[in-house]
Structure 1
Amino acid sequence: MKRVYFTLTLMSLFGGLNAFADVKQGGVVYDKMPDGSCIVVNYDDATMPADGIVTIAATININGTDCPVTGILGGENYTATDNNYDNGKYNVEGENTTYNRAAFANCKKITGLKFEKDSKVTWIGDHAFRFCTNLKTIENIPSVLDDIQGWCFEGTALESVDLSNTNVTIMKDGVFYNNTSLTSIQLPNKLENFWDNAFYGCKALNNIVMPSTVVGIYNNVFEGCTSLSNVKLNEVCTTLGHHVFKNCPLAEVTFPNSLNSIGEYAFESTKLNTVDLSNTQITSLPNGSFYNCEQLSDVKLPKALTNICDRAFYNSTIASITFPPSLEKIGAWAFYKARLANVVIPTTCRTIEQGAFSDNANLTTVVINGLECYLAYQAFCNCSKLTDVYITSKEAPVVERYGFPFDNDPKVHVMKDYVGTFSGLKTSENYNPCNTTNFDSNLPLILSKEWTTFTSAYNLDFSSVEGLTAYTAKYNKDNDAVALTSVKKVAAHTGLILKGEAGQTYTLPILASDADGLDAVTDNQLVDCVDAVWSSSRNKDYFLSNGKFVNSTNAGWALPGKSFLYISSGRANQSESPLRVYVDNTATAINGITNNPVVKDEAYYNLQGVKVQRPQHGVFIHNGKKVVLK
């Protein structure tokens, strides 16, 4: 927020009126205002209490009239001028007077500030107690106080402040700037915004309880609060400014769903371990958002995120991350020195800037689903373990799309019809802009379990791969079961279930972008996850987990490269038992999925898995076996 100074002007009254002298009481100087109230304008060394505790009176008697004290003068170099009002407020009655500083600015004698009971002070001006380096306590803060101006308590020795019962709605610029002894503060219950630098450098501040009304926390508010380890942001908070928690030892932050903006370097050099932004409204993570968060290992990105800007997660320890399908750009050095092992770039992503994934020592596999994604210079440099890059785009490759992103000659897997095109790409200097010489049209695949889900952005051929079978799936409501049908040549973006040997490497031929002879797949209820898919249909989404089809209990990402079963009308039997599975319309239990033998079932089913009430002649399924009734 822009600094806002509280400018006061003093009015002199002439034309036969008697001049009024300032009233001095208990080390405080008061002056009268035209509306009959008075304000604190200065302090008086001669009458300052010996213990340095200054009491602000509730009323001051002036010429026999009790005048309520309503404010404390702020700002510097305010001079009385004829009939010069500041919006008709806070103009002092008296002779031409120059106040060279705010009321108590630079006062070294004050050790405590106390307000009399029933105080009517509603405002404290800017810089009013600036550099009162021995001011440690404030007592009886009036509940009617609604305005504390910028830099009011800058550089004081305050240790604890209770503003909870005041009407203050804004912590203004630098209000407690560099209060190095401040350990705790009870914030106003009606607080809505923190303006810039409000608690900058309060290195002893160790806890902040945010009122439920806080909407915005702007630039540098808690920067340098080197004891602040925990902050909970409440549900109405929408905005976090630049450098807002820079250099705080934050180990945990709760991010509300309402949050829609984070400023540059907002969490630089914090000690966050986890960051969950998945339900926030954020669409862009600006430069350095989580810069140099060396302990940050787990990040969940916003569902609608479009941009990850330069150095957003620079020098983190993130080992895995799921990019939302809305992502369009990853900025320069965004994941520099992270610990990612695998990266899947979404279809909509158009740009990966210089050094975005540089120096990821654990990175082995990169999948580029972006249809026309530009890979900038050194985007994946110094990734010594990077062996396989998958460029899945059906768009023909062009020189302008690649700017020497690799430096260790990884194998690049592409559509069959593009192998020659990629190999032949040349810049004006006759260099291949991919900076690699190794292109092929094969997809090596290792199954983690005997049965697993799978989706690819390539057209694939399973027909000649021994020991590996691909299936589509369809739910049959009548017998509460899933039928699997094997497929051979599969179009891109087809959700599949694979059966093979766990740990075995299979090599699948990648077909051409316009391949012929692909299986006509109908009624497949497996959702393809070429990009990550957000699952929130808890009674309709089923995932293969520990060998069973289980219902989704929590909203979250279905990972790219996987698939899940979607039953549009819900499951007929809502029990928690695993779904019965049929392979090629034969009632053979998949032990890897159900982990149970076929449950004895006296009912008869036709070969389509439909229960038959009175079977007579034909081939049926009975107790898990084919039977022929004559």
Structure 2
Amino acid sequence: MKRVYFTLTLMSLFGGLNAFATVTKDGVVYDKMSDGKCFVVGYDEATMPTDGIVTIVNTINIDGTDYTVTGILGGADYTDYNNNGKTGDDRAAFFNCKKIIGLRFADGSDVTLIGDHAFKSCTNLKTIENIPSKLTEIKKWCFEETGLESIDLSNTNVTIMQDGVFFNNKSLTSIQLPNKLENFWDNAFKGCTALKNIAMPSTVVGIYNSVFEDCTSLSNVTLKEGCTTLGHHVFKGCPFTSFTFPSTLNSIGEYAFENTNLKTVDLSNTQIKNLPNGSFLNCPQLSDVKLPIGFTYIGNHAFKSSPIASITFPPTLEKIDTWAFQYAHFKNVVIPTSCSAIGEGAFSENDNLTTVFINGVKCYLAVNAFANCGNLKDVYITSNDEPNAERYGYPFKNNSADLTVHVVPNYLDTFTKLVTCNAPKFDSNLSLTLGKEWTTLTSAYNLDFSNVEGGLIAYTAKYNKDNDAVALTPVKKVKAHTGLILKGEAGKTYTVPILASNEEGLDEATDNQLVDCVDAVWSTGRDNDYFLSNGKFVKSKNHGWALPGKSYLYINGGRANKSESPLRVYVDNTATAINGITTNPVVKDEAYYNLQGVKVQRPQHGVFIHNGKKVVLK
């Protein structure tokens, strides 16, 4: 009995008979696993080749039987395998091997698995040759902190870059990814400071947390359609200046692009619904951002310290959280009607900000929401609801004494007495500075153009299919949300009275075809949508947001003759013969034109345009 007990104790101590069956060939130790598979299980520096190039053979004879080598042991593989008393990462086959310089697989290798931590801390390992096409799995932290300079995995069957698989490979300059790759798990390439380019295969779906964080040489990333997920910190600290966001993308993690050199961010064709905390924090070259349809939320510090000068908030936006745009470079901001909250400091320290429109019906403005914006002069609160103290948390701290908050006259007195809305002045006027002689406008206020000093004129517009032209009709007292065309003096500032929200006697504009853009409108019907440009209506060639506060012409069914030329315009229902908007007195020539604007050399019987007026020749 004592003899049997002693034998069992030895077997237990050395992890079973496998511990006595290892075979070493050219510095590589092989053994049979408990399931009968043959793995590389370790190394022997004393018998390794002097050049440091280690070859993994295809078959090895163990106890008189030839076994096919199918894997390289990892630290967590085969928990019943003791590997001569080593535990944890030390059990991984080449863990901390400093003598290995190159790894080579024999032709036709059947290796399918390289285990976790298998080559961790092999700081002199620079090359891997003849990587098996049958390779399906490279486990986590496998090549952490190696000296690899480049690697080609393109012909393998690997579908996942597992956690930390190439973590902190500071010499890695390039990698050809597996053609069937689907996901990158956390930290896969984090700290690969020499990595310059990444071309993703079309099969990639997800790139998760910190995958390329602190890849400080990564200047080019090509991401294909099909990718849906970018995780937290995924590209933090990467220096690339441009990035193409695929239309399939539906998730971006926290601090995903923090400290990158992006110049523009175009999410307009993606499926993104929100941007979480710090997603584009401190991007020092970021000037322009485009958001998608259906977008609802901007998180804490999302664009803080990024000098954004241009952004259009979609009408679906519900909340802008704390410090989201602190230190941005906006000149104008329009908060859409559905937005219910602007967080603490959200737009603070915006030195270029001059004008803010808050269309949110019951939008809460938190403490310091627009604080320390030294050039902020006009804030328009367009809500028709009676204000109360709970909707304001002292949002205008430390701004200019010239700051005026413009509100509907119904509640001017209420606003003036509202301590929590801490603006120095309140009134009920809209200040307009025209950039050009002709421009467009839509307002959430009822407006009175009857006696505007300086002769500012407002028009509605309708397309006339018979004449393939647009008729403008002047209006005086205009209902809120009416698309308008304005004519005035370029560079001049006009003051337009805001009418009460319950004002009576407003002009009816039932045939107006100018689209209401109080909030931004996504324009996709390009055969139907015409935009005013340099005094002419032209068809835009691109999908995108029609700017809030503007308007554009929508022609149901498109133009009659499908022409690409700019649309002619009627003023006061009298046609001009000139493309673009021209008032009657401008037309001074003696020529005759037919109603299609074509010059007639010898007019006889009929209706013509002469000196800008309609005449009948009998």
> TM-score scaled to structure 1, two decimals?
0.90
Cα deviation, residue 277, structure 1: 0.7
Q: Does 1:518 find its partner at 2:506?
A: yes
Deviation (angstroms), 1:63: 3.5
Does 1:419 find its partner at 2:407? no
* Alignment correspondent of 1:64: 64
Q: Which residue of 1 aligns with 2:22?
A: 22
Q: 1:47 to 1:597 in 2, by over 3 A?
A: farther
Task: Report the Cα distance in structure 1 between the residues aligned to 2:119 and 2:19, rounded to whole angstroms.
Answer: 28
Cα pair 1:179 1:202 within 8 Å, conserved: yes
Asked whether the 8 Å contact 1:603–1:622 carries over to 2, the reply is no
Q: Secondary structure at the match of 2:372?
A: coil
Contact 1:374 1:402 in 2 (8 A): yes
Q: Does 1:448 align with 2:441?
A: no
Relative to 1, partners in 2 of residues 1:620 and 1:251: Cα closer, same or farther, differing over 3 Å? closer
Do the aligned residues in 2 keep the contact of 1:163 with 1:188 (CA within 8 Å)?
yes
1:549 to 534, 537, 541: 537
Tell me, yes or no, if structure 1 residue 106 matches structure 2 residue 88: no
Q: How far has the Cα of 1:528 moved from its partner?
A: 1.1
The percentage of counterpart residues that share the same residue type is 72
Question: Offset at 1:572?
Answer: 0.5
Q: Report if aligned partners of 1:355, 1:380 keep a CA contact under 8 Å in 2.
A: yes
Question: Paired residue for 2:8?
Answer: none
Report whether the alignment pairs 1:581 with 2:574.
Answer: no
Q: CA deviation at 1:395?
A: 1.3
**1:495-510 equivalence runs, <5 A:** 495-510=483-498
Distance across 1 between alignment mates of 2:323 and 2:35: 61
Instruction: Tell me the SS of whatever aligns to 1:418.
Output: helix
Tell me: CA distance 1:496–1:615, structure 2 relative to 1, closer, same or farther (3 Å).
farther
Structure 2 partner of 1:457: 444
Partner of 1:50: 50
The residue number in structure 2 matching 1:234 is: 224
Asked whether the equivalents of residues 137 and 160 of structure 2 are also in contact (C-alpha less than 8 Å), the reply is yes
1:10-35 deviation per Cα after TM superposition (whole angstroms, max 9, x unaligned): x9899x99985211111111111355
The equivalent of 1:221 in structure 2 is: 211
**Conserved 8 A contact 1:232-1:255:** no
**Whole-Å Cα distance in 1 between the matches of residues 588 and 43 of structure 2?**
91
Q: How far is 1:99 from its partner?
A: 3.8
* Contact 2:576–2:609 (Cα < 8 Å) also in 1: no
Task: Tell me the amino acid that sits aligned with residue 575 of structure 2.
Answer: A
What is the root-mean-square deviation in Å for CA atoms of aligned residues? 2.6
> How far off is 1:79 after superposition?
5.8
Aligned counterpart, 1:119 = 109
Question: Cα offset for 1:437?
Answer: 3.4
For 2:553, the aligned partner's letter is: L
Contact 1:37 1:70 in 2 (8 A): yes
Q: Aligned pair count?
A: 592
* Alpha-carbon distance, 1:137 to partner: 0.8
Identify which of 550, 567, 581 aligns with 1:562.
550
Contact 2:107 2:130 survives alignment (8 Å): yes
For each residue in 1:559-600, what CA deviation from the matched residue of structure 2 results, as whole angstroms up to 9, or x when unmatched?
111100000111002222221211121124577637996996
Equivalents in 2 of 1:336, 1:19: separation in Å? 63
Give the Cα separation in 2 of the matches to 1:237 and 1:520.
50
Verify the 8 A CA contact 1:120 1:142 in the aligned structure 2: yes
CA spacing shift, 1:525–1:49, aligned 2, 3 Å: same
The Cα shift of 1:98 comes to: 3.5
- Which position in structure 1 is the counterpart of 2:338? 348
Aligned to 1:73: 73
Unaligned runs of 5+ in 2: 1-10, 597-603
Whether the 8 Å contact between 1:537 and 1:552 is mirrored in structure 2 is: no
**What code does the residue aligned with 1:346 have?**
P
CA contact (8 A) 2:314 2:336 kept: yes
Q: Distance in 1 between matches of 2:18 and 2:177?
A: 45
Question: 1: distance between equivalents of 2:576 and 2:34?
Answer: 95
The normalised TM-score by structure 2 is 0.91
C-alpha contact (below 8 Å) 1:59/1:66 kept by paired residues: yes
How far, CA to CA, are the matches of 1:295 and 1:374 in structure 2?
A: 31
Q: Which residue identity is paired with 2:234?
A: V
Secondary structure, aligned partner of 1:253: coil
Task: Give the gaps of 5 or more residues in structure 1.
Answer: 1-10, 81-91, 426-431, 606-613
> Letter of the aligned partner of 1:456 in structure 2?
S
Deviation by residue 1:37-83 (Cα, 9 ceiling, x = unmatched):
31111111221111111111111122433211001110169664xxx
Residue 400 of structure 1 aligns to a residue whose secondary structure is helix
Aligned residue in 1 for 2:424 = 437
SS at match of 2:581: helix
Query: 2:78, 2:614 → 1: CA distance?
Result: 100
Q: 1:438 to 1:228 in 2, by over 3 A?
A: same
Matched, 1:155 2:142: no
Task: Note the C-alpha offset of 1:422.
Answer: 0.7
Q: For the structure 1 residues 445 and 17, does the alpha-carbon distance in structure 2 shift closer, same or farther, using more than 3 Å as the test? A: closer
Q: Which residue of 1 aligns with 2:282?
A: 292
In structure 1, distance between residues paired with 2:334 and 2:578: 30
| CA–CA separation in structure 2 for the residues paired with 1:294 and 1:179 | 27
Equivalent residue runs for 1:144-183 within 5 Å: 144-183=134-173
Instruction: Report the equivalent of 1:3.
Output: none
